[in-house]
Structure 1
């Protein structure tokens, strides 16, 4: 994984055809902001197509996509994936319809910044680059849980780009050369988590080319605001690790026990709470600092539960082809 600035003159004349694929499930509320972000892109509009794939939504997502496609100055292609309920299956539907040399991925609840595409595509001026990951930055959050996640930079690509097994980029902000997809296949359509890592690793294992990080290619994403959402997020991280263990031999994460949780909570209450409270009175700490340990234990426990309870479905081993 590299991060090298491209030659500016060459990069400015490098404007390949790009296909942006966005899977959407019940995204009616997200569509106005998403369209606004896509409209504001600085990349030449005639060089981009947007493939927005409804994944069997029960709200008005598909209707709104079709309406917007006819009234929009950018090329929007509304598509449907109704056979398999999976964001990866929806992405595959988008890839099959894509005509671009580079296929870009983001999600309906992401907010790409104006220079997102321009910055994400630039590293491809180097023919050795086949994957580019942009950065994911949190939207401003008001709740304690959002502030805690922001402090931990939970969404940032820096965690996945430094994965102990191999680097990978999350599909919230990822671009891949089409030729790589032609060689290794598409996403595993029945996989429900970990498909972004699986895809990047399959490409890197084939030695087709390398992965680059584009820190200026920014999408914003909202942190989870409730305990239920936070638990679901971290259970999914745990399931993902189990699936990647079964598919690629990734080392399983150490599971945190109830006994360990109890010990660390007691230590927190007796030692950390008094210390952080004194800092808070002096204006040097906040409630987020005081609650850092219990929130961290909650997410670690959720991840352990997800990893322990997950079982890779047999059909999740299937790789779709172009």
Structure 2
């Protein structure tokens, strides 16, 4: 995909109203850092509202949101989505309440950097841009699995932007023009994963407009630190594959058989380990380099298991729409 450069002189004067939607489930431990990041945004405070949507949390999330909103120097609007347990349903609740033409998304466990919103909004100066994806980078981490994921750039949007079916951006760092949501519909509220790809594909494949990448719009996210967390992450990726296959007929990933695993582990043990061990002695390789193959196989097997076992919820076919009243906002 070719991305057109933004005229920075014009973009400097482009400061539309923006609504930032953040779904939150049991996020009380993340709230302080999230709010700190929102307070540090360079985008003009009077041009942005933050809609923080509690998704039926069992902790103090909603109470803390309400308390924070009372004395905040930025506009924070606490909302609740208690009917459907899904981050996409919570995002829809935020979209319906949003007062702006451009709606940005991030997550409670993300850490938007100060220039995030300013950089994310600039490409919208081009009228045909309806989706902008920013970059997702790792928070500093020292564990083996964090270093592995960082070396693979697991979270980076470059993987989703290069998807063989159609480009998309992850909702951890995404902005969509409201008119695109009016035409293509909102998130599927009953999906639990894959909703970011689904909504981007519906917009792009209807030729409503184009997607732009904003590499300077950075949010940071923490990598998984245990094999249990890593397996859960990659099983979720596998479930997303299955759901998107059912909804958009994308190709399913091929299973890595036990025989293939055995071959690759044998090659790793007898070829890669000796080679990388020598490099490590010379200071040119790390433990991550030594263990790359078995960790990658572990992740791939978990992803396939998630794909194999997933069953698309029957209600996932439902696409919510904005009502006529909700379509009329002050732009």
State the TM-score, normalized to the length of structure 2: 0.96
Q: Is the 8 A contact 1:55 1:81 kept in 2?
A: yes
What secondary structure is seen at the aligned counterpart in 1 of 2:224?
Answer: coil
1:23 corresponds to which residue? 23
Q: CA–CA distance in 2 between the matches of 1:160 and 1:103?
A: 20
Aligned to 2:75: 75
Residue aligned with 2:132, SS: strand
Which residue in the other structure is 2:202 paired with?
Answer: 202
Whether 1:9 aligns to 2:9 is yes
State yes or no: 1:88 paired with 2:81: no
Aligned to 2:230: 230
Aligned counterpart, 2:265: 265
Q: Please say if 1:171 is aligned against 2:171.
A: yes
Does structure 2 retain, via aligned residues, the 8 Å contact 1:2–1:211? no
Q: In structure 2, how many angstroms separate the alpha carbons of the residues matched to 1:161 and 1:130?
A: 15
Q: Is 1:187 the equivalent of 2:183?
A: no
- The RMSD of aligned alpha carbons is 0.8
Aligned equivalents of 1:90 and 1:292: distance in 2? 37
2:82 paired with 1:62: no
The answer to whether the 8 A contact 1:3-1:214 is kept is no
- Which residue is equivalent to 1:303? 303
Structure-2 separation of matches of 1:88 and 1:282 = 49
Normalising by structure 1, report the TM-score: 0.99
Deviations 1:194-223 (A, max 9, x none): 000000000011111100000000000111
Q: CA deviation at 1:18?
A: 0.3
Shift of 1:262: 1.8
User: Shift in Å at residue 269 of structure 1?
Assistant: 1.4
The equivalent of 1:119 in structure 2 is: 119
Give 3-state SS (helix, strand or coil) of 1:291's partner: helix
Aligned-partner Cα distance in 1 for 2:48–2:42: 11
Other-structure match for 2:294: 294
Specify the alignment match of 1:109 in structure 2.
109
Gaps of at least 5 residues in structure 1 are none
CA distance in 2, matches of 1:234, 1:82: 27
Whole-angstrom distance in 2 between the partners of 1:258 and 1:57: 41
